[in-house]
Structure 1
């Protein structure tokens, strides 16, 4: 009976004959001891082949990477028993050259015994720790599909890793990733939960889901306070302060909880209540055991508090400190992008005239590292540019500059399509249609091209009802 392991050996023997090699000359060519090759081909039972040896022999015979991998799976399960050392080496090699078909076949075999999820999870974590995030995902997905214990940390961490890796620029994909991960967030260890809540909050911000954003803020406040209290208790008992194993300093999560809460309240138009929560992160210098990184975070929160308090005053219709606020933003240009959107929104809401201010801030924005040539670096910035152009469009329409208003509407619409944000797409299309009579040929051509391209796109069937614009 010819098996896959037999087939590998027959192919090796065939190649050796075709190349005119003896076992000795082939061994020298491949860099493998003659005795090992003899044991592999002639042993009774034949000596097992390591994946490294198979690769060396494939190269010596002139074959491409991955030669005979589809047959090598059986080599990992001698007498149907899994050889984890051999399996791990094979799986790692498959991740290097993209043989995910072989990875799937091995994982399917391993899952005949669900206890193997422990080893699979360990391998996934090793890959993740080495920065091989995409390579780790098939193994986390395997754990998700096969973990027997639904409340295990392994399952929750696997969901968390897949969630973090899934977040990108596409709003719809981010939404689906969030729905999948959310039920598992409270099953994570505390250090993972802090980062998980922060990641969820970022997605809810881009989705403009202020209700769930507020919940994330509340949970982050509660958790970071609890972790801080526990750290202090342990320090009082032992005399040593042990930092939590998180991506950022603990003070960062503490401040972010209150910042996220205030931000959600701002968008829910609960401005006075939002001011209360800004005060909680405006001065965190009292936070114990701050290292240099933590002290820098405290200084950042001070800046955030100044900017956000000014934003709330503007939204309430108070522009008495606007000139002073603009000077502050010019000194801290990284705060211009989020703040200029609020300044414009306030001007549109309360009929402020801010032509010179907008020109000054836009010039500073374009010359700074946070300019539009770099805004695709993160999803939050992308959404801010969508909003910036939209608010600029509204401002120009109010100022009776419809041509410029349409320019900015189309800029905003273009990015909204790129990130597949349905709500923003519809909002901008309705705005364009409202002022269509003021459009010129260039406006209409660009608009119709975007609508046609979106209708052809397979990203999402979100533009079927928008075809009225392409005529």
Structure 2
């Protein structure tokens, strides 16, 4: 019967092939002779640390995870897991991308579910260190094996994976939201606030207005409860438990009303949307406003002014155009979303904004750079969504005035951006718009359109391959 290969037998084989002695190999690795003797010849052999394994691998010029499959047994040297080896080994596995060995170790650990709290602690440690992707396998392990389905540990694991998974891809964002939603109410209020704000924003940028409303309402309900409890506990700050949230409490309060108003606006309920603006336009009454809180209050004041002008424009008040332009000049971060509203209004009501487009031509040309300036707290897809919609509306405006070449250029810009964020419904609209004016497209424009379509086909084929691999 053939003897099973172990990490020690593999090392011994390499030492013989290379003609090494313990002394010569010790010089190559920086480890002394006594350590090698204890590792290979001890009775019982001395356990090998992850650092020692990596030094040996490097000295033998093998890939850094060469011995990792064999090291799994070293983590359970006498049949029990030894955390001094297990933890650094798991961290190294995620660092080098060897998820196979992570799965092997976790599978062995989960033979005893008492290890779940330890796995959760490791996930939290990696998360706090900013190693977000590395933390995912450990949160997933908790989710798959947690026996108490209403435990906060399980809900936090779902929340952390949700937070990590949010990206510029609208489709994957929806998948992340749907997976997280059932666990949102099992979280502490701190995580609930952050989770609900993320959910409401994602639904907003998915253009699912009713869902955005729903979770904005939930967010408003949670913040209202917190505020009432703060009043109930009295004015003595020592009696109040501080919130451990990503943002100041005023952000969650204001955003609940802002998203509610914005979602109503997108449904054409302009008068109702206007009613909600008054709840966040002046939040100076808010308790415990530090310097950061004051800055947030000022931002809501600016947004309220912008959104009032938005609604006036969308209701066809052309007289609001000049005041809106002046507002945008004073508030550069609002220029791109503001121009989008102005274009939507001009296209709907048929008035000219040529002077406006000239006035802000530099900002429009640099819109890709502007998109990178948006608040990183929200999905990157949010700013890209606004940019893509802006391009689409500029295209429609040019087509309305028979500027077909310029219109097609902006259709192509919108298509590239919709493709980047995987916004399928709007991408389809963009392709329909291109096909409507294909007769006016130049040879170069047709070639660019063909290139975009080939990229769509390539992405679809890659997706089919991935799904096939997953099913097997």
Same fold (TM over 0.5): yes
1:360 and 1:92 map into 2 onto residues whose CA distance is: 54
Match of 2:306 in 1: 307
Q: Distance in 2 between matches of 1:25 and 1:79?
A: 30
Q: Distance in 1 between matches of 2:293 and 2:432?
A: 46
Residue equivalent to 1:442: 444
Match of 1:77 in 2: 76
What is the 5 A alignment of 1:318-333? Answer: 318-333=317-332
Structure 1 match to 2:244: 245
* 1:199 match: 198
Against the structure 1 CA distance between its residues 42 and 249, is the aligned structure 2 distance closer, same or farther, given a 3 Å change threshold?
same
Cα 1:22–1:280 shift into 2, 3 Å = same
Of residues 33-42 and 255-264 in structure 1, the stretch that sits farther from structure 2 once superposed is 33-42
Unaligned 5+ runs, structure 2: 465-472
TM superposition score normalised by structure 2: 0.90
- Answer yes or no: is 1:216 the counterpart of 2:215: yes
**CA deviation profile, 1:158-201 (whole Å, cap 9, x unmatched):** 11221222222222222222222222222222111111112112
Structure 1 residues 30-429: aligned runs within 5 Å: 30-234=29-233, 236=235, 239=238, 242-366=241-365, 371=370, 378-429=380-431
Deviation at 1:418, TM superposition (A): 2.4
Using the TM superposition, name which of 339-348 and 160-169 deviates more.
160-169
Partners of 2:115 and 2:389 lie apart in 1 by: 48
38-47 or 357-366, larger mean C-alpha shift: 357-366
Asked whether the 8 Å contact 2:372–2:383 carries over to 1, the reply is no
**How has the CA–CA distance of structure 1 residues 58 and 117 changed in structure 2, closer, same or farther, with 3 Å as cutoff?**
same
Give the CA deviation at 1:20: 4.6
Residue 82 of structure 1: SS of its match in structure 2? coil
The TM-score with structure 1 as length reference comes to 0.90
Q: Which moved more, 1:340-349 or 1:236-245?
A: 236-245
Displacement of 1:249 in angstroms is 1.0
What is the distance in 2 between the residues matched to 1:380 and 1:124? 28
Task: Quote the offset at 1:79 in angstroms.
Answer: 3.4
User: 1:412 Cα deviation (Å)?
Assistant: 1.2
Q: Is the 8 A contact 1:261 1:277 kept in 2?
A: yes
Against the structure 1 CA distance between its residues 242 and 441, is the aligned structure 2 distance closer, same or farther, given a 3 Å change threshold?
same
Q: Deviations over 1:362-408 (max 9, x none)?
A: 32454689536878982111111111011112212222323322222
1:337·1:370 contact (CA, 8 Å) conserved in 2?
A: no
Alpha-carbon distance in 1 for matches of 2:58, 2:459 = 43
Distance 1:81 1:437, change over 3 A: same
**d(CA) in 1 for partners of 2:205 and 2:77?**
51
**Alignment CA distance shift 1:385-1:3 (3 Å):** farther
Judge conservation of contact 1:41–1:47 (CA < 8 Å) in 2: yes
In structure 2, C-alpha distance between the alignment counterparts of 1:182 and 1:288, rounded to whole Å: 30
What is the distance in 2 between the residues matched to 1:391 and 1:58?
A: 58
CA contact (8 A) 2:367 2:387 kept: no
The residue that corresponds to 1:453 in the other structure is: 455
SS at match of 2:45: coil
Question: In 1, distance between residues paired with 2:255 and 2:73?
Answer: 51
Alpha-carbon RMSD across the aligned residues, in angstroms, is 2.5
Q: In 2, distance between residues paired with 1:247 and 1:267? A: 28
Give a deviation string over 1:48-95, Cα, whole Å, max 9, x none. Answer: 222122223333444442231111111111332222232112111212
1:229 Cα deviation (Å)? 3.0
271-280 or 220-229, which moves further after superposition?
220-229
SS of the residue corresponding to residue 49 of structure 1 reads coil
CA apart distance, 1:30: 3.1
Encode CA deviations 1:430-455: one digit per residue, 9 max, x unaligned. Answer: 22233333333333333233223322
Cα deviation, residue 29, structure 1? 4.2
Q: Is the 8 Å Cα contact of residues 55 and 67 (structure 1) preserved in structure 2?
A: no
